[in-house]
Amino acid sequence: MLSVPARRSAVLDPSSQPEVVSAFWKGIDVFRPIALLYAAYSLWDRPTDLTRPALAWSVLAVLGAWTVFLVAYRRRRLWLVLVELGLGAAAILATRLVDTDAAIAAGARTLPTFWPAAGVVSAAVLLGRRGGIPAAVFIGVVDVVEVRQATPNTVNNIVLLLLIGALIGYACDLAREGHAKLREALVLEARVRERERLARTVHDGVLQTLAFINRRGGELGEQSAVLGAMAAEQERILRALVSGTSPEDTEAAVTGDTDLRQSLARYAGGRVQLVAPADPVPVPPRVAGELAAAVGAALDNVRQHAGEDAQAWVLLEDAGDDVVITVRDNGVGMPSGRLEQAAAAGRLGASSSIRGRLADLGGEARYSGREGSGVTVEMRAPRGGAPEGDR
């Protein structure tokens, strides 16, 4: 009769319903007894036309008991709506048992009059248009079965039921959608306020300290400059965290492109030397982050495999549409087939952290070297990275 998701049978939490939906439920509770009183008056007004008056009053008594039960039972369940529609349909069909064929053909009112409309409205409030329209069609079909030949009065009643089910259901659908959007907006507002509070706290303490270390490191030079660059990088990440964006988006919002020299400066120092152009090498933040991570993975390999005294050089070149980074060391070198063996053993530093990142950028990484003469890794990638459809 009605096709609805099983989860709709759960008890509706009144506190989670929009005010207009709660108002509809209250209105239905008022409508039922009024409709029942009108049905009782209609039955009392024409006792001589009835063939079985005792049965008629018994049907109204059942409807009255159900009306009282729903006043006391405040929870809204799907099975209640289905039972109410069934009682309304049974009361309509019972009209043929208490009225003569002549009276029905002449357009006499049904036994419950408009009490079954409460079931249609309940379905519309509970399930929206998906419940109101099928419920109205169901009661309309029962009305046609009762009169056997539809009269203009019957057609009018069916049209009114359809309008009630559709419009009230649509109003409840809109109310629930608006209520859900309001709840989402309130949750988002609470999150924004909490983030702003954390941002103020962090800005007054940690971010200012990191900015100071960055400035002083640049003034002192040498190893202090490396410390300052690391502080600047952590400051960028922390600002992105408290602002709710990615570090790349944060930097891009401020400066557009990123100077790749600054992204690689964190690795300079100790046994690692950075050779970069005098002019900035601007690239998108995502490209800078991936290339810096690939260089970090290559230097990790140098530290782990090249030997304790090995030195490394990082050469950055601006090749127009491409950027080229070469990482070279003077360590123990690499025997032939070593990369394939490492990948097979699950060590993914070269195959994933380096070659995988370059492939994602639309570039490539090439290894060269032999045992006893160090290793060279050349990384080449388009300045703008790979297009969105190629990633």
Using 50, 70 and 90 to split pLDDT, how confident is the model at 325? very high
Most confident of 34-38, 221-225, 249-253: 34-38
Protein fold of 267-390: Heat Shock Protein 90 (3.30.565)
Q: What integer pLDDT is reported at residue 144 of this predicted model?
A: 85
Mean pLDDT lowest among 231-235, 259-263, 330-334: 231-235
Residue 137 is encoded by which pair of tokens? 């069609």
pLDDT band at 373 (very low <50, low <70, confident <90, very high): confident
Give 172-220 as a DSSP string.
Answer: HHHHHHHHHHHHHHHHHHHHHHHHHHHHHHHIIIIIHHHHHHHHHHHHH
Say if CB 78 and CB 4 are below 8 A apart.
Answer: yes
Q: Which pLDDT band, with edges at 50, 70 and 90, does 24 fall under?
A: confident
pLDDT at 113: 86
- 143, 153 Cβ separation under 8 angstroms: no
Residues 140-177 pLDDT 10s:
888 888 888 777 778 888 898 899 889 998 988 888 88
- The alpha carbons of the chain give a radius of gyration, in whole angstroms, of 39
Domain boundaries of the chain, sorted by first residue: 6-186, 267-390
Residue whose C-alpha is closest to residue 94's, from 35, 156, 143: 143
Three-state SS sequence of 64-117: HHHHHHHHHCCCCCHHHHHHHHHHHHHHHHCHHHHECHHHHHCCCCCCCCCCCH
Cβ(275)–Cβ(265) below 8 Å: no
The 3-state DSSP class for residue 372 equals coil
What percentage of the chain reaches a pLDDT higher than 90?
A: 8
pTM equals 0.48
The confidence score (pLDDT) of residue 271 equals: 81
Section 269-298 average pLDDT: 85
Task: Look up tokens 């971010």; give the residue.
Answer: 207
Burial of 88 per CB tally in 10 Å (0-12, 13-18, 19+): buried
Rounded to whole angstroms, how far apart are CA atoms 358 and 126? 55
Which of the four pLDDT bands, split at 50, 70 and 90, describes residue 319?
confident
